Amino acid sequence: MAGITYEDFLDTSYEPADSELVCTFSVDPAADMDMAAAASRVASESSNGTWAELQVDGEITDLSATAFEIDGRRVQVAYPDSLFEAGNMAQILSCIAGNIMGMKAVDRIRLLDCEWPEALTASFPGPRFGSAVRESIFGAGDRPITATVPKPKVGLSTDQHVQVGYEAWTGGIDLLKDDENLTDQPFNPFRDRLIESFGARDRAEAETGEKKSYLINVTADTNTMLERVDMVAEEGGEYVMVDVITCGWAAVQTVRDQCEKHDLAIHAHRAMHAAFDRVPNHGVSMRVLAQVARLCGVDQLHTGTADLGKLENEDSRGINDWLASDLHGLRDVLPVASGGLHPGLVPELVDRLGTNICIQAGGGIHGHPDGTHAGAKALRQAVDATVAGVDLDEYAAEHPELETAIGKWGTETPR
Ligand SMILES: O=C(O)[C@H](O)COP(=O)(O)O
Ligand SMILES: [Mg+2]
Protein backbone atom coordinates (compact mmCIF):
# COMPACT_ATOMS: atom_id res chain seq x y z
CA MET A 1 0.00 0.00 0.00
CA ALA A 2 2.96 2.32 0.43
CA GLY A 3 2.47 5.48 -1.56
CA ILE A 4 -1.13 4.66 -2.57
CA THR A 5 -3.49 7.64 -2.69
CA TYR A 6 -7.20 8.05 -3.36
CA GLU A 7 -6.61 8.55 -7.05
CA ASP A 8 -5.31 4.97 -7.25
CA PHE A 9 -8.86 3.75 -6.61
CA LEU A 10 -10.19 5.35 -9.81
CA ASP A 11 -9.63 3.74 -13.21
CA THR A 12 -12.21 4.40 -15.89
CA SER A 13 -10.54 1.93 -18.25
CA TYR A 14 -10.99 -0.90 -15.73
CA GLU A 15 -13.27 -3.81 -16.64
CA PRO A 16 -14.65 -5.69 -13.62
CA ALA A 17 -14.03 -9.42 -13.41
CA ASP A 18 -17.06 -11.76 -13.21
CA SER A 19 -16.05 -12.65 -9.66
CA GLU A 20 -16.30 -9.04 -8.45
CA LEU A 21 -19.24 -7.45 -6.66
CA VAL A 22 -20.25 -4.38 -8.66
CA CYS A 23 -22.10 -1.63 -6.79
CA THR A 24 -23.83 1.35 -8.33
CA PHE A 25 -23.98 4.50 -6.24
CA SER A 26 -25.50 7.92 -6.62
CA VAL A 27 -22.87 10.37 -5.37
CA ASP A 28 -23.18 14.08 -4.57
CA PRO A 29 -19.62 15.23 -3.86
CA ALA A 30 -18.92 17.73 -1.08
CA ALA A 31 -18.88 21.36 -2.26
CA ASP A 32 -15.07 21.51 -2.40
CA MET A 33 -14.60 18.18 -4.16
CA ASP A 34 -14.90 17.09 -7.78
CA MET A 35 -16.66 13.86 -8.73
CA ALA A 36 -13.48 11.96 -9.59
CA ALA A 37 -12.01 12.68 -6.16
CA ALA A 38 -15.28 11.75 -4.41
CA ALA A 39 -15.68 8.52 -6.42
CA SER A 40 -12.13 7.41 -5.66
CA ARG A 41 -12.73 8.08 -1.97
CA VAL A 42 -15.88 5.95 -2.08
CA ALA A 43 -13.88 3.03 -3.52
CA SER A 44 -11.04 3.62 -1.08
CA GLU A 45 -12.97 3.95 2.21
CA SER A 46 -15.26 1.01 1.37
CA SER A 47 -12.37 -1.37 0.65
CA ASN A 48 -8.85 -0.98 2.06
CA GLY A 49 -8.07 2.76 2.03
CA THR A 50 -8.37 5.62 4.45
CA TRP A 51 -7.82 9.40 4.45
CA ALA A 52 -4.03 9.19 4.71
CA GLU A 53 -1.39 7.86 2.36
CA LEU A 54 -0.35 4.65 4.08
CA GLN A 55 3.09 3.34 4.85
CA VAL A 56 3.00 -0.45 5.09
CA ASP A 57 6.05 -2.68 5.35
CA GLY A 58 6.17 -5.75 3.17
CA GLU A 59 3.67 -7.27 0.76
CA ILE A 60 -0.03 -7.44 1.64
CA THR A 61 -3.02 -8.75 -0.28
CA ASP A 62 -4.37 -6.03 -2.53
CA LEU A 63 -8.06 -5.74 -1.74
CA SER A 64 -8.60 -2.34 -3.36
CA ALA A 65 -11.93 -1.59 -4.95
CA THR A 66 -12.01 0.31 -8.22
CA ALA A 67 -14.33 3.13 -9.22
CA PHE A 68 -14.55 2.32 -12.93
CA GLU A 69 -17.49 4.35 -14.21
CA ILE A 70 -18.69 7.89 -13.60
CA ASP A 71 -21.80 9.04 -15.42
CA GLY A 72 -23.30 12.21 -13.97
CA ARG A 73 -23.81 11.43 -10.30
CA ARG A 74 -23.89 7.66 -11.02
CA VAL A 75 -20.69 5.91 -9.92
CA GLN A 76 -19.90 2.22 -10.29
CA VAL A 77 -17.39 0.47 -8.08
CA ALA A 78 -16.00 -3.07 -8.44
CA TYR A 79 -15.03 -4.96 -5.28
CA PRO A 80 -12.68 -7.95 -5.37
CA ASP A 81 -14.23 -11.20 -4.16
CA SER A 82 -11.53 -11.74 -1.55
CA LEU A 83 -12.49 -8.50 0.24
CA PHE A 84 -15.54 -10.35 1.57
CA GLU A 85 -16.13 -13.10 4.08
CA ALA A 86 -18.35 -15.65 2.38
CA GLY A 87 -21.85 -15.84 3.84
CA ASN A 88 -21.35 -12.86 6.18
CA MET A 89 -23.86 -10.17 5.21
CA ALA A 90 -22.92 -7.88 8.08
CA GLN A 91 -19.31 -7.82 6.89
CA ILE A 92 -20.31 -7.16 3.28
CA LEU A 93 -22.54 -4.25 4.28
CA SER A 94 -19.81 -2.82 6.51
CA CYS A 95 -17.80 -2.49 3.28
CA ILE A 96 -20.27 -1.36 0.64
CA ALA A 97 -22.66 0.64 2.85
CA GLY A 98 -20.45 1.40 5.84
CA ASN A 99 -18.27 4.45 6.59
CA ILE A 100 -18.91 5.89 3.13
CA MET A 101 -22.47 6.77 4.15
CA GLY A 102 -21.13 9.39 6.59
CA MET A 103 -17.96 10.45 4.81
CA LYS A 104 -17.46 14.23 4.60
CA ALA A 105 -16.12 13.86 1.05
CA VAL A 106 -19.72 13.37 -0.07
CA ASP A 107 -22.79 15.42 0.71
CA ARG A 108 -25.02 12.49 -0.14
CA ILE A 109 -24.42 8.95 -1.29
CA ARG A 110 -26.94 6.22 -2.04
CA LEU A 111 -26.22 2.59 -2.75
CA LEU A 112 -28.63 2.03 -5.64
CA ASP A 113 -27.96 -1.47 -6.90
CA CYS A 114 -25.61 -4.46 -6.68
CA GLU A 115 -24.63 -7.13 -9.18
CA TRP A 116 -23.96 -10.20 -7.05
CA PRO A 117 -21.29 -12.54 -8.42
CA GLU A 118 -21.89 -16.28 -8.43
CA ALA A 119 -19.43 -17.40 -5.74
CA LEU A 120 -20.52 -14.76 -3.22
CA THR A 121 -24.18 -15.50 -3.95
CA ALA A 122 -23.59 -19.22 -3.44
CA SER A 123 -22.28 -18.52 0.06
CA PHE A 124 -25.85 -17.56 1.08
CA PRO A 125 -28.79 -19.95 1.35
CA GLY A 126 -31.46 -17.81 -0.30
CA PRO A 127 -35.14 -18.55 0.38
CA ARG A 128 -36.12 -22.07 1.37
CA PHE A 129 -39.49 -21.82 -0.41
CA GLY A 130 -39.92 -18.40 -2.05
CA SER A 131 -43.12 -17.73 -3.97
CA ALA A 132 -43.80 -21.49 -4.15
CA VAL A 133 -45.58 -21.00 -0.79
CA ARG A 134 -48.61 -19.76 -2.71
CA GLU A 135 -49.11 -23.17 -4.22
CA SER A 136 -47.38 -25.52 -1.79
CA ILE A 137 -49.09 -24.18 1.34
CA PHE A 138 -52.33 -22.70 0.01
CA GLY A 139 -52.93 -24.29 -3.39
CA ALA A 140 -53.82 -20.76 -4.50
CA GLY A 141 -53.38 -21.36 -8.24
CA ASP A 142 -53.30 -18.09 -10.13
CA ARG A 143 -54.61 -15.83 -7.41
CA PRO A 144 -52.56 -13.69 -5.04
CA ILE A 145 -52.61 -14.97 -1.48
CA THR A 146 -54.11 -12.66 1.14
CA ALA A 147 -53.10 -11.64 4.65
CA THR A 148 -54.46 -9.45 7.38
CA VAL A 149 -53.00 -7.81 10.44
CA PRO A 150 -55.46 -7.21 13.31
CA LYS A 151 -55.93 -3.58 14.29
CA PRO A 152 -55.35 -1.79 16.53
CA LYS A 153 -51.84 -3.06 15.98
CA VAL A 154 -51.23 -3.41 19.72
CA GLY A 155 -53.64 -3.50 22.63
CA LEU A 156 -55.95 -6.35 21.69
CA SER A 157 -55.93 -9.09 24.31
CA THR A 158 -54.99 -12.57 23.18
CA ASP A 159 -58.63 -13.59 23.01
CA GLN A 160 -59.57 -10.52 21.00
CA HIS A 161 -56.61 -10.97 18.65
CA VAL A 162 -57.43 -14.61 18.06
CA GLN A 163 -61.10 -13.84 17.46
CA VAL A 164 -60.17 -11.23 14.84
CA GLY A 165 -57.92 -13.82 13.19
CA TYR A 166 -60.67 -16.42 13.19
CA GLU A 167 -63.15 -14.01 11.59
CA ALA A 168 -60.63 -13.03 8.94
CA TRP A 169 -59.69 -16.63 8.15
CA THR A 170 -63.30 -17.75 7.86
CA GLY A 171 -64.04 -14.70 5.72
CA GLY A 172 -61.55 -15.99 3.13
CA ILE A 173 -58.16 -14.64 4.17
CA ASP A 174 -55.21 -17.06 3.93
CA LEU A 175 -52.83 -15.60 6.46
CA LEU A 176 -53.17 -13.95 9.83
CA LYS A 177 -50.18 -11.70 10.51
CA ASP A 178 -48.92 -9.99 13.65
CA ASP A 179 -48.13 -6.35 13.39
CA GLU A 180 -44.51 -5.25 13.41
CA ASN A 181 -44.61 -4.01 17.02
CA LEU A 182 -46.51 -6.94 18.50
CA THR A 183 -44.20 -9.57 20.00
CA ASP A 184 -44.52 -10.71 23.63
CA GLN A 185 -46.12 -7.91 25.61
CA PRO A 186 -48.14 -8.66 28.76
CA PHE A 187 -51.48 -7.74 27.15
CA ASN A 188 -50.96 -10.47 24.51
CA PRO A 189 -48.17 -12.93 25.36
CA PHE A 190 -46.42 -14.73 22.52
CA ARG A 191 -46.96 -18.29 23.71
CA ASP A 192 -50.66 -17.85 24.51
CA ARG A 193 -51.26 -16.12 21.18
CA LEU A 194 -49.42 -18.86 19.30
CA ILE A 195 -51.33 -21.73 20.85
CA GLU A 196 -54.76 -20.11 20.79
CA SER A 197 -54.32 -18.86 17.23
CA PHE A 198 -53.42 -22.34 16.03
CA GLY A 199 -56.59 -23.64 17.70
CA ALA A 200 -58.63 -21.02 15.84
CA ARG A 201 -56.75 -21.81 12.63
CA ASP A 202 -57.75 -25.47 12.93
CA ARG A 203 -61.39 -24.51 13.40
CA ALA A 204 -61.25 -22.10 10.45
CA GLU A 205 -59.71 -24.78 8.24
CA ALA A 206 -62.39 -27.29 9.20
CA GLU A 207 -65.10 -24.73 8.54
CA THR A 208 -63.82 -23.43 5.20
CA GLY A 209 -62.03 -26.46 3.77
CA GLU A 210 -59.15 -24.09 2.96
CA LYS A 211 -55.60 -24.09 4.28
CA LYS A 212 -54.94 -21.25 6.75
CA SER A 213 -51.68 -20.09 8.25
CA TYR A 214 -50.24 -17.60 10.72
CA LEU A 215 -47.32 -15.17 10.52
CA ILE A 216 -46.38 -14.83 14.18
CA ASN A 217 -43.79 -12.18 14.95
CA VAL A 218 -40.75 -13.79 16.60
CA THR A 219 -38.69 -10.56 16.57
CA ALA A 220 -36.50 -10.22 19.69
CA ASP A 221 -32.85 -10.71 20.65
CA THR A 222 -31.47 -13.58 18.58
CA ASN A 223 -31.49 -16.24 21.31
CA THR A 224 -35.12 -15.48 22.12
CA MET A 225 -35.99 -15.54 18.43
CA LEU A 226 -34.52 -19.02 18.11
CA GLU A 227 -36.60 -20.22 21.07
CA ARG A 228 -39.70 -18.74 19.45
CA VAL A 229 -38.89 -20.37 16.12
CA ASP A 230 -38.63 -23.74 17.91
CA MET A 231 -41.95 -23.08 19.64
CA VAL A 232 -43.70 -22.29 16.35
CA ALA A 233 -42.37 -25.52 14.84
CA GLU A 234 -43.38 -27.59 17.87
CA GLU A 235 -46.92 -26.20 17.76
CA GLY A 236 -47.33 -26.90 14.05
CA GLY A 237 -46.75 -23.63 12.19
CA GLU A 238 -45.52 -23.07 8.65
CA TYR A 239 -44.07 -19.58 9.07
CA VAL A 240 -42.36 -17.13 11.36
CA MET A 241 -42.39 -13.38 10.86
CA VAL A 242 -39.28 -11.27 11.46
CA ASP A 243 -38.80 -7.48 11.45
CA VAL A 244 -35.66 -7.88 9.39
CA ILE A 245 -34.34 -4.32 9.42
CA THR A 246 -34.79 -3.61 13.11
CA CYS A 247 -33.35 -6.97 14.22
CA GLY A 248 -30.50 -6.93 11.71
CA TRP A 249 -29.25 -9.21 8.97
CA ALA A 250 -26.95 -11.31 11.15
CA ALA A 251 -29.96 -12.27 13.26
CA VAL A 252 -31.98 -12.98 10.11
CA GLN A 253 -29.24 -15.33 8.92
CA THR A 254 -29.32 -17.20 12.24
CA VAL A 255 -33.11 -17.46 12.14
CA ARG A 256 -32.88 -18.72 8.55
CA ASP A 257 -30.61 -21.56 9.70
CA GLN A 258 -33.04 -22.50 12.46
CA CYS A 259 -35.98 -22.39 10.05
CA GLU A 260 -34.13 -24.77 7.73
CA LYS A 261 -34.07 -27.35 10.53
CA HIS A 262 -37.82 -27.03 11.04
CA ASP A 263 -38.91 -26.50 7.42
CA LEU A 264 -40.41 -23.10 8.28
CA ALA A 265 -40.86 -20.17 5.91
CA ILE A 266 -39.90 -16.59 6.83
CA HIS A 267 -42.15 -13.59 6.35
CA ALA A 268 -40.03 -10.41 6.39
CA HIS A 269 -41.56 -7.14 7.58
CA ARG A 270 -39.43 -4.16 6.56
CA ALA A 271 -40.28 -1.67 9.35
CA MET A 272 -37.54 1.04 9.45
CA HIS A 273 -36.48 0.53 5.83
CA ALA A 274 -37.45 4.13 5.13
CA ALA A 275 -34.66 5.30 7.43
CA PHE A 276 -32.33 3.89 4.76
CA ASP A 277 -34.20 4.56 1.55
CA ARG A 278 -36.62 7.48 1.85
CA VAL A 279 -34.28 10.48 1.66
CA PRO A 280 -33.52 11.14 -2.00
CA ASN A 281 -29.96 10.37 -3.11
CA HIS A 282 -28.84 9.09 0.27
CA GLY A 283 -28.75 5.78 2.13
CA VAL A 284 -29.43 2.31 0.81
CA SER A 285 -32.13 1.72 -1.77
CA MET A 286 -35.02 -0.65 -1.05
CA ARG A 287 -33.83 -2.54 -4.11
CA VAL A 288 -30.56 -3.37 -2.35
CA LEU A 289 -32.33 -4.15 0.95
CA ALA A 290 -34.52 -6.58 -1.00
CA GLN A 291 -31.42 -8.17 -2.55
CA VAL A 292 -29.91 -8.61 0.90
CA ALA A 293 -33.16 -10.12 2.19
CA ARG A 294 -33.22 -12.63 -0.66
CA LEU A 295 -29.61 -13.67 -0.12
CA CYS A 296 -30.19 -14.07 3.62
CA GLY A 297 -33.15 -16.28 2.79
CA VAL A 298 -36.53 -14.73 3.55
CA ASP A 299 -39.47 -16.20 1.65
CA GLN A 300 -41.85 -13.22 1.68
CA LEU A 301 -40.89 -9.55 1.82
CA HIS A 302 -42.84 -6.30 2.04
CA THR A 303 -41.93 -4.32 -1.08
CA GLY A 304 -44.68 -1.73 -1.18
CA THR A 305 -47.94 -1.14 -2.99
CA ALA A 306 -46.78 0.48 -6.25
CA ASP A 307 -47.81 3.89 -4.85
CA LEU A 308 -51.40 2.81 -4.15
CA GLY A 309 -51.18 2.61 -0.35
CA LYS A 310 -50.48 4.81 2.66
CA LEU A 311 -46.68 4.44 2.68
CA GLU A 312 -44.06 5.92 0.38
CA ASN A 313 -42.39 3.27 -1.72
CA GLU A 314 -39.63 3.02 -4.22
CA ASP A 315 -40.26 1.14 -7.45
CA SER A 316 -42.29 -1.82 -6.12
CA ARG A 317 -42.60 -3.25 -9.63
CA GLY A 318 -38.88 -3.11 -10.40
CA ILE A 319 -37.97 -4.60 -7.02
CA ASN A 320 -40.54 -7.38 -7.43
CA ASP A 321 -39.18 -8.15 -10.90
CA TRP A 322 -35.70 -8.41 -9.42
CA LEU A 323 -36.96 -10.74 -6.67
CA ALA A 324 -38.37 -13.03 -9.39
CA SER A 325 -35.32 -12.85 -11.65
CA ASP A 326 -32.55 -15.42 -11.88
CA LEU A 327 -29.87 -15.04 -9.22
CA HIS A 328 -27.40 -17.85 -9.85
CA GLY A 329 -30.09 -20.43 -9.06
CA LEU A 330 -31.32 -18.95 -5.75
CA ARG A 331 -35.07 -19.18 -5.19
CA ASP A 332 -37.28 -16.13 -5.70
CA VAL A 333 -39.06 -14.16 -2.95
CA LEU A 334 -42.82 -13.58 -2.78
CA PRO A 335 -43.50 -9.82 -2.69
CA VAL A 336 -45.98 -8.59 -0.09
CA ALA A 337 -48.03 -5.47 -0.88
CA SER A 338 -49.14 -3.86 2.35
CA GLY A 339 -49.89 -0.49 3.90
CA GLY A 340 -53.21 1.24 3.31
CA LEU A 341 -54.76 -1.29 0.94
CA HIS A 342 -58.50 -2.01 0.69
CA PRO A 343 -60.71 -3.96 -1.71
CA GLY A 344 -61.25 -1.13 -4.21
CA LEU A 345 -57.50 -0.93 -4.88
CA VAL A 346 -57.07 -4.61 -5.73
CA PRO A 347 -57.66 -4.47 -9.53
CA GLU A 348 -55.17 -1.62 -10.00
CA LEU A 349 -52.68 -3.28 -7.65
CA VAL A 350 -52.81 -6.54 -9.60
CA ASP A 351 -52.56 -4.60 -12.85
CA ARG A 352 -49.36 -2.95 -11.59
CA LEU A 353 -47.79 -5.91 -9.76
CA GLY A 354 -49.32 -9.09 -11.19
CA THR A 355 -50.75 -12.03 -9.27
CA ASN A 356 -47.56 -13.50 -7.83
CA ILE A 357 -47.94 -11.44 -4.65
CA CYS A 358 -49.40 -11.49 -1.17
CA ILE A 359 -52.00 -8.77 -0.70
CA GLN A 360 -52.26 -7.66 2.88
CA ALA A 361 -54.81 -5.34 4.44
CA GLY A 362 -55.30 -4.27 8.05
CA GLY A 363 -57.50 -1.18 8.17
CA GLY A 364 -58.96 -2.15 4.79
CA ILE A 365 -60.50 -5.23 6.44
CA HIS A 366 -61.06 -4.25 10.07
CA GLY A 367 -62.40 -0.82 9.11
CA HIS A 368 -65.22 -2.38 7.06
CA PRO A 369 -68.51 -0.93 8.35
CA ASP A 370 -69.82 -4.45 9.07
CA GLY A 371 -66.68 -5.67 10.82
CA THR A 372 -63.75 -7.99 10.24
CA HIS A 373 -65.59 -10.99 8.84
CA ALA A 374 -67.37 -8.88 6.23
CA GLY A 375 -64.13 -7.00 5.52
CA ALA A 376 -62.28 -10.26 4.91
CA LYS A 377 -65.01 -11.43 2.57
CA ALA A 378 -64.84 -8.15 0.68
CA LEU A 379 -61.08 -8.40 0.17
CA ARG A 380 -61.33 -12.00 -1.00
CA GLN A 381 -64.19 -11.07 -3.32
CA ALA A 382 -62.07 -8.28 -4.80
CA VAL A 383 -59.23 -10.74 -5.40
CA ASP A 384 -61.51 -13.37 -6.91
CA ALA A 385 -63.20 -10.84 -9.19
CA THR A 386 -59.89 -9.41 -10.33
CA VAL A 387 -58.39 -12.81 -11.13
CA ALA A 388 -61.56 -13.79 -13.01
CA GLY A 389 -61.33 -10.56 -15.00
CA VAL A 390 -64.70 -9.34 -13.74
CA ASP A 391 -65.26 -5.63 -13.18
CA LEU A 392 -65.33 -4.88 -9.45
CA ASP A 393 -68.59 -2.89 -9.54
CA GLU A 394 -70.27 -5.68 -11.48
CA TYR A 395 -69.05 -8.28 -8.96
CA ALA A 396 -70.09 -6.04 -6.08
CA ALA A 397 -73.69 -6.04 -7.30
CA GLU A 398 -73.82 -9.74 -6.35
CA HIS A 399 -71.54 -9.49 -3.29
CA PRO A 400 -72.83 -7.14 -0.57
CA GLU A 401 -69.61 -7.10 1.50
CA LEU A 402 -67.64 -5.85 -1.48
CA GLU A 403 -70.36 -3.36 -2.33
CA THR A 404 -70.17 -1.90 1.18
CA ALA A 405 -66.36 -1.67 1.04
CA ILE A 406 -66.43 0.11 -2.30
CA GLY A 407 -69.18 2.37 -1.01
CA LYS A 408 -66.92 3.36 1.89
CA TRP A 409 -63.51 3.69 0.27
CA GLY A 410 -64.08 3.62 -3.49
CA THR A 411 -60.69 3.44 -5.18
CA GLU A 412 -59.05 6.15 -3.09
CA THR A 413 -55.43 6.00 -1.97
CA PRO A 414 -55.35 6.59 1.80
CA ARG A 415 -52.88 8.73 3.74
O1 LIG B 1 -47.74 -4.13 8.90
C2 LIG B 1 -48.35 -3.70 7.93
O3 LIG B 1 -48.04 -3.98 6.79
C4 LIG B 1 -49.46 -2.72 8.20
O5 LIG B 1 -49.82 -2.90 9.52
C6 LIG B 1 -50.64 -2.79 7.30
O7 LIG B 1 -51.73 -2.12 7.91
P8 LIG B 1 -52.82 -1.31 7.07
O9 LIG B 1 -53.32 -2.24 6.01
O10 LIG B 1 -53.88 -0.95 8.08
O11 LIG B 1 -52.16 -0.13 6.50
MG1 LIG C 1 -47.98 -2.86 10.39
Mean pLDDT of 66-72: 98
pLDDT band at 54 (very low <50, low <70, confident <90, very high): confident
SS3 label, residue 312:
coil
Collapsing DSSP to helix, strand or coil, 25 comes out as strand
Q: Which ligand is nearest to the CA of 303?
A: 1
Beta strands in 10-132 (DSSP E): 21-29, 66-71, 74-79, 106-115
Q: What is the CATH number of the domain that holds 211?
A: 3.20.20.110
CA pair distance 114, 122, nearest whole angstrom: 15
Burial classification of residue 401, based on how many CB atoms lie within 10 Å of its CB (0-12 exposed, 13-18 middle, 19 or more buried): buried
Of the candidates 76, 110, 92, the residue with the CA atom closest to the CA atom of residue 278? 110
Instruction: For ligand 1, atom 4, name the residue with the nearest CA.
Output: 339
Give the pLDDT score at 415.
86
Q: Does one domain contain both 114 and 216?
A: no
User: Would you place residue 5 in the very low, low, confident or very high pLDDT band (cuts 50, 70, 90)?
Assistant: low
Sign of CA dihedral 250, 253, 257, 263: positive
The 10s digit of each residue's pLDDT in 322-377 is 999 999 999 999 999 999 999 999 999 999 999 999 999 999 999 999 999 999 99
Residues 99 and 209 in one domain: no
Q: What percent of the chain has pLDDT over 70?
A: 99
Do 229 and 255 belong to one domain? yes
Residues 275-326 pLDDT 10s = 999 999 999 999 999 999 999 999 999 999 999 999 998 999 999 999 999 9
Overall average pLDDT of the 26-31 stretch: 98
The answer on 107 and 62 residing in a single domain is yes
The CA distance from 23 to 16, in Å, is 11
How high does pLDDT run on average in the chain?
A: 97
Q: Is residue 415 part of a domain?
A: no
pLDDT band at 382; cut points 50, 70, 90: very high
Cβ within 8 Å of residue 66, ≥6 positions away: 9, 10, 11, 14, 16, 43, 77, 78
**Alpha carbon separation from 405 to 53, 367, 373, 397 (Å, rounded):** 66, 9, 12, 12
408 labelled catalytic:
no
Pairwise CA distance, residues 233 & 113, whole Å = 35
Among 161, 212, 267, 269, which one carries the catalytic annotation?
Answer: 269
Which of 87, 122, 157 is the C-terminal boundary of a domain? 122
| Residue 82 sits in the same domain as residue 140 | no
Q: What angle do CA 149, 239, 335 make, to 5 degrees?
A: 65
Q: CB–CB of 67/40 below 8 Å?
A: yes
* Phi then psi dihedrals of residue 334, to 5 deg: -80, 120
At which of 80, 101, 122 does a domain end?
122
User: Rg of the chain's alpha carbons, rounded to an integer?
Assistant: 23
Least distant ligand from the CA of 339: 1
Atom of ligand 1 nearest to the CA of 339: 11
Q: Is 179 annotated as a binding residue?
A: yes
Count: domains in the chain: 2
Contact between 155 and 187 (Cβ < 8 Å): yes
Give a yes or no: residue 377 inside a domain: yes
Residue 315 DSSP one-character state: -
Same domain, 202 and 349: yes
Helix (H) or strand (E) holding 347: helix 346-353
The burial class, CB within 10 Å (0-12 / 13-18 / 19+), for 125 is middle
Centre of ligand 2 from the C-alpha of residue 22, in Å: 34
> Which of 122, 156, 178 is the last residue before a domain boundary?
122
- Residue ID of nearest Cα to ligand 1 atom 1: 179
- For residue 147, the CA-to-ligand 1 centroid distance in Å is 10
In this structure, the answer to whether residues 118 and 138 fall within a common structural domain is: no
Mean pLDDT of 246-259: 98
Let me know whether 194 and 154 are in one domain.
yes
Name the β-bridge partners of 266: 240
- Lowest-pLDDT choice from 166-170, 302-306, 388-392, 411-415: 411-415
Question: In the chain, what is the greatest distance between 2 CA atoms, to the nearest angstrom?
Answer: 81
Q: Is residue 1 part of a domain?
A: no
Contact between 67 and 29 (Cβ < 8 Å): no
Is residue 281 located within the same domain as residue 169?
Answer: yes
Structure ipTM: 0.98
Specify the pairing of strand 106-115 against strand 283-284: parallel
295 touches 330 (CB < 8 A): yes
- Determine how β-strand 239-243 pairs with β-strand 334-338: unpaired
192-246 pLDDT, tens digit per residue, is: 999 999 999 999 999 999 999 999 999 999 999 999 999 999 999 999 999 999 9
Is residue 21 in some structural domain? yes
Sign of CA dihedral 23, 26, 29, 30: negative
Residues 402 and 375: their CA atoms lie apart, in Å, by 8
Mean pLDDT, range 106-117, rounded to an integer: 98
Domain identity same for 116 and 134: no
Share of the chain residues as helix, strand and coil, in percent rounded to the nearest 5: 45, 15, 40
Ligand 2 (single-atom ion) residues, CB below 5 Å: 179-180
Residue 41: give its domain's CATH number: 3.30.70.150
Question: Which secondary-structure segment (H or E) carries 300?
Answer: strand 300-302
Q: How confident is the model at residue 2 (pLDDT cuts 50, 70, 90)?
A: low
d(CA 373, CA 129): 30
Any domain includes 254: yes
Ligand 1 probe mutation, 175, 305, 345, 360, most atoms within 8 A of CB: 360
Per-residue burial over 269-280, b if 16 or more Cβ lie within 10 Å, else e, is: bbbebbebbeee
Residues 244 and 100 in one domain: no
Residue 269 designated active-site? yes
Does residue 109 form part of some domain?
A: yes
Residue-number span of the structural domain to which 161 is assigned: 130-409
140 has pLDDT over 80:
yes
Give the H/E segment covering residue 268: strand 265-269
363 annotated as a binding-site residue: yes
| 165, part of any domain | yes
Ligand 1 atom nearest to CA at 341: 9
Same domain, 229 and 331: yes
Would you say residue 1 has pLDDT above 90?
no
State percent of the chain over pLDDT 90: 95
- Least trusted range by pLDDT, from 55-59, 66-70, 96-100, 334-338: 55-59
Instruction: Return the pLDDT at 4.
Output: 61
**Is there a binding annotation on residue 300?**
no
| Average pLDDT rounded to a whole number, residues 175-195 | 98
Residue 247 domain flag: yes
pLDDT in tens, 75-88: 999 999 999 999 99
